[in-house]
Structure 1
Amino acid sequence: MELPAPDGSWRADVMATSTTHGRQTAWEAQLSPITGADIQMRTDRYADDGIDVCWVSSRDRVLWLCAVPAIAVTPANPPTAGDRWMVPAQRREQERQQQEQTRQEEAARRERDRREQAAAQQWWDELSTTQLTELLARIAVLCMSEHAYGIALYAGHRLYGVARPCPYSLGRLSDSTRIFVRNAREKALVTATGLINADLVTHFDPPDYEQTVLL
């Protein structure tokens, strides 16, 4: 695992310690460009603390490869064009950044949903009960027969249910379709056909003479 010097003069990507005599060897993945003088100076810092070091490069044509203890490696699975060969610390940082980006995107999505819901509420609040009644009546006239001459209700792109389908046309609907009717009498008429599961039929119990549209 990554280990820094007490005085901060070096930071090993991986520090290996012998179990027999305790000798330490630092493994450093050097991916960014560096001069021969600079890598020699960093090697000397390890030597001052009695630590061996081996530099690892993913390229085999760097000038310092033969000047300090070093090896060139090739990943077992060569990286794709969009990947980088990374040391653990760099990989952890990339994962942290990806997690933070995901968190920010999720927070932004929730905020968009909140604003959209508030806007939709305001949009529908602009209609009076009379205006809404007139609108729904006009929609009912234009309903397609594939929804049993009822009003199709969608949640996103998915059919949520059908409002007040005609009992004589229920054969056009799937037996798993949710049905919404005005009162218990209409529910009884719908379920009496035997074409719809009674548990999927919801009614709101206004009396037959009540003409108010429930929102």
Structure 2
Amino acid sequence: MARLDGGGEMAFAAIHPEVGRIDATLSDLGCDLTWSAVHRIRPRVALRCPECGHGVQAKVSARGLRYFAHGSGRLTDCAWLNESLEHHLLKLELATAVRAADWHAELEVRSPDGSWRADVLASSHDGTRRTAWEAQLSPITIEDIQERTERYRAAGVGVCWVSPAAQAPWMGHVPSIRVREPTQGRPWTVVEGPSAFDFDRGAWGAVDTLALIAFVRWASQGQPIVHEVRPRYRPVWFATDDLYRRRRLVWTSSPHIESETQHEAMQQCQEARKRQREEQQRQAEQQAKVEAEAEAEARRKDEQRQREIRAAEEAARRDEQLRRWAAEAEQTRQRREVEEDQRQAQQRAAEQQRLRQEQDERLAADRWWGELSAEQIHEFREAVADPLWKTHAARPEFDAQGPTPDRAYGIAIRVRQRLHGVLRPSPASLHRLPPADPVYVRNAREAQQLAATGAIDPTRVVHFDLPDHEQMSLI
């Protein structure tokens, strides 16, 4: 966090005890509240930091910037403590650009599972698209930023990394742009990231005069898009610096991608013609060599008679050698036939073992599900669906196929058409489970049955307090 007005740390989000998360950058704080409802009000509203839970206060800087600051006795491990003022101002600029593009913007948003925390999370109004805009001012390795980018991709969230630094080693390895702060009346400007393909030069060239607010608007509309540059064209031309820099990813449009494709086709055609010329030259040289050898052969005819005797002796030795080789080859063939028969026998035995195992697993799964009545299965599904509905605001879907082998004879659970977990997999088939999906069982006894196999991490198992037998209704 950045220090403002001589004390406290700066953040734009806080947790209100009644309305939940509020955003100081929005006129209504994102929940139909005025700033006066939290600023300099007595008694003071018990606002909390979304990151560490410590108490925060609403403040206004000398520049008129609204923010929240930790009170005394704050926790030293809060993730926002080390963010600079420049970091926060860039986040604010990104949020402003997102809102100008008619998208919803939230600052300092953490994912439900804690795998990522976005500086600015942009969401389309229909909720189908989300993009994280990350202000990256501190040093970070290429491997770390690629790993964090992959976390966003796995969560279905796009990402663009934004840096005002003169040099960023990770630029072009992930979706990223470099920006310049406003100068002499000019707004925030994107000076690296967007690129155009110059067909005559046969190279990508950086576009360094694009306003940040315009870039964010176009990116929200799907123009430009992130493109992986072909290896041949990865040296990107920077006219301002009069040099090339290697970049694997650039922001560009479909016509420029098509221009690169056409140039690549032209290059391949030229290379093919070059290879053809080289082949023709090689053939001409080979023909000249053949003619020279023919002339030399005429000169060697006188020597041929003297070599015939030696050649005959050599032929006899070769014939003997060939007979030995043939005998050895026959022995090798017979040995390989025996080895092949043994290998096929082993494969058949392994296949029979696999079929027996699958049959045993199916029988075990039939017994496992046979323990429950239709009413118990319905009760179980309702017990699973209720917390998922509250968490994801969406009704979970249970695979209509029922128990399937690829889910360890459990039933796949999907939320918003994405696989969420597995309902009551068979203990005998846990080796078939995907590596990370949560598993739901009826009660602690069933959870212990799964854990006792040693084939699953007990922390993946979610159980409920459902009875093993149907409860009798009192009428």
Asked if these proteins are the same fold (TM beyond 0.5), I'd say no
Q: Tell me the TM-score normalised to structure 2 length.
A: 0.18
Higher RCO structure (Cα 8 Å, ≥6 apart): 1
Q: TM-score, normalised by structure 1?
A: 0.37
